[in-house]
Amino acid sequence: MADSIDLLAEDFYAAHMRANPTEAHLLGDYLHAARFEGASRAEEDRQAAELRDFVDRAEALDVDLLDDQQRITRSVLLSEATTRVGMIEGRFREFAADPIFGDQVSLPLVVGMLAIPTAEVAEAMVEKYRAIGRWYVDLAERQHEGVARGRVSPGFAVTGTIAQLDAALAVPVAEDPLLDLTGLPADVDSDAWRAAMVEAIATAIRPGMAAYREALVQVALPAARPDDRAGLCWLADGEEDYDRTLRYYTTTTKTAQEIHDIGLDQIAGLAEEYRELGLEVVGTDDLQEIFEAMRTDPALHFETGDQLVEASEIAMQRAWDAMGDWFEVLPQAKCAVQATRTGAKAFYFAPATDGSRGGTFFINVEDPSAWGTFELESMAFHEGIPGHHLQLAIASELTGVPEFRKHLNNSAYAEGWGLYTERLADEMGLYSGALDRMGIFSADSLRACRLVVDTGLHALGWSRQQAVDFMVENSPMTEAICRPEVDRYILTPGQATSYMIGRLEILRMRAEASQRQGARFDVKKFHSAVLDNGSLPLGVLDEVVHARLA
């Protein structure tokens, strides 16, 4: 019996949820609540074979029999499955040490967001914790595989991860942050359940972490990459693997050199914008003096975490009040601001589909003085409203499209939209003043530098310090901020290129639509065309916008 597109889409989403049970749980799907992701090579092989089968099934469909939405579904599935196979075949878990996004850092935050609505889910959480222990054991084995194949983590990542594992293992099990979970249903014996969770941590997670730590100390650290060989190009098959990441994160065919050159062009254009606004904001149009003032003037930096949260809430409320003039559809889910002391500087979690949790904009308050006052509004508009919250919440509430299109997160689309909205907010008149508008340029400097530095590290052989020096020279960020940024790009190759590439492509689509339609062009309809089909590869988005705004 031949496939239908609807069956194919349903099977694809089910396979994605099986492979990503934590994501499923966050979305309010509890079918796999007892499971955790698999890190073994065998599991990667299984997922890759499954994805290739989806590609074959999608290519076998008769496109002439599909309507417009079904063609979009087929195109998205083909892109997603193909690029994910590429990433799996990169075998990146063979050098998985990561002190920024590694599970030893992220898990306490993530599990704290996992809803436990029933006694069955509470019981499943105990099994999930045992599976987390197996995950760490698998990661340990993968480090052995990586070293045998000449594929090793950077030294700073290994030592940083070891230090974090040491700190986590030193905490008494009864005080483990993995026990800081959401409320339990009334019919669960909380003391017995907590005892079972403590037992799972003690007998599965802690031994797994210890095994991973031992592999890092004994195997990965002696072979680790030095700082002057931080990028993928220094590894066996590294150049090919970097190309895989660029295909996956940008959903374009742009080469590393093309992306590098785009970044240099963006940086040159931003210099003129800084100079135009610099006299009003800091009293000079000298670029390096502008950067220095933005880095060091205490009046341009926050003092407390409460100030960061409050300013974010005010900015997002102002944005929400203006949405009706710029958007045809708004999400039902609300967006909250929550302080955190772990993870990236700012990030967003989409709402759960069952309504158990709204969207959340997390802002890192560990060091408030590291936040320039000029940065806050552009970041709030990017992560919250009208950025990721509108985009991801609207997608999750779509009707008439397959589930996988509501929830799959295409980085170039998602981050491109987030960066697009930082400039859109200026069109909308949302920034408080000239100082806050300077934050647009600061944010753009970061994303433009990412194009240059990410490709510099992974394709051109830059050292870790060379990358830091370039960012300090070409942005208002301090070395203390640039260094962890560079480390992030080293550890997540290609992802940092998705922001500016995505934004530039969305701007190109808007300009071409405006040129085609002339006086008929309506920015609200353009935004609907971008947002009302879920997360799309940029080529598919271009086709959608062109068809809608012909």
Torsion of CA 111, 113, 119, 123, to 10 degrees: -10
Residues 6 or more apart in contact with residue 45 via CB below 8 angstroms: none
State which of 123-127, 340-344, 477-481 shows the largest mean pLDDT: 123-127
| Rounded Cα gap, residues 418 and 360, in angstroms | 15
Residue 301 confidence (pLDDT) above 90: no
Among 152, 5, 1, which Cα is nearest to 77's? 5
Q: What single-letter amino acid sits at 235? A: L
| Rounded Cα gap, residues 493 and 241, in angstroms | 9
| pLDDT in the model for residue 1 | 45
| pLDDT in the model for residue 358 | 86
Question: How far, CA to CA in Å, does 424 sit from each of 18, 191, 318, 394?
Answer: 37, 51, 14, 18
% the chain with pLDDT above 90: 86
Average pLDDT over residues 458-487: 96
| pLDDT in the model for residue 182 | 83
Average pLDDT over residues 298-311: 91
% the chain with pLDDT above 70: 99
Residues in the chain: 550
Average pLDDT over residues 27-32: 92
Instruction: Provide the residue ranges of all domains of the chain, joining segments of one domain with +.
Output: 5-247, 248-503
Average pLDDT over residues 512-529: 97
CB–CB of 93/142 below 8 Å?
Answer: yes
Among 439, 441, 416, 412, which Cα is nearest to 268's? 441
**DSSP per-residue letters across 377-400:** HHHHHHHTTTTHHHHHHHHHT--S
Q: 518: burial class by Cβ within 10 Å (0-12, 13-18, 19+)?
A: exposed
| pLDDT in the model for residue 466 | 98
First-last CA distance in the chain: 38
What sign does the CA torsion over 322, 323, 324, 327 have?
positive
Per-residue pLDDT band at 300 (split at 50, 70, 90)? confident
Average pLDDT over residues 358-376: 89
Pick 349 or 327 by higher pLDDT.
Answer: 327
| Rounded Cα gap, residues 39 and 379, in angstroms | 33
Average pLDDT over residues 284-310: 92
Residues 6 or more apart in contact with residue 272 via CB below 8 angstroms: none
Per-residue pLDDT band at 504 (split at 50, 70, 90)? very high
Residue 29 in tokens: 């799907």
| pLDDT in the model for residue 2 | 60
Average pLDDT over residues 442-451: 96
Pick 464 or 395 by higher pLDDT.
Answer: 464
335-340, strands of its sheet edge to edge:
335-340, 359-364, 346-349
The residues with which 362 forms a beta bridge, in sequence order, are 338, 347
Computed over every residue of the chain, the mean pLDDT equals: 94
By three-state DSSP, how is residue 301 classified?
A: strand
HEC assignment per residue over 314-373: HHHHHHHHHHHHCCCCCCCCCEEEEEECCCCCEEEECCCCCCCCCEEEEEECCCHHHCEH
Per-residue pLDDT band at 455 (split at 50, 70, 90)? very high
CA 120 to chain centre: 31
Average pLDDT over residues 303-312: 93
Other CB atoms within 10 Å distance of the CB of residue 454: 32
344 dihedral zone (left: phi>0; alpha: psi -120 to 50; beta): beta
Residue 218 confidence (pLDDT) above 90: yes
Average pLDDT over residues 79-101: 96
CB–CB of 292/484 below 8 Å?
Answer: no
Beta pairing class for 346-349 and 359-364: antiparallel
Per-residue pLDDT band at 197 (split at 50, 70, 90)? very high
pLDDT of 227-256, one tens digit each?
999 999 999 899 999 999 999 999 999 999
Q: Which of 80-89, 138-147, 181-190 has the lowest mean pLDDT?
A: 181-190
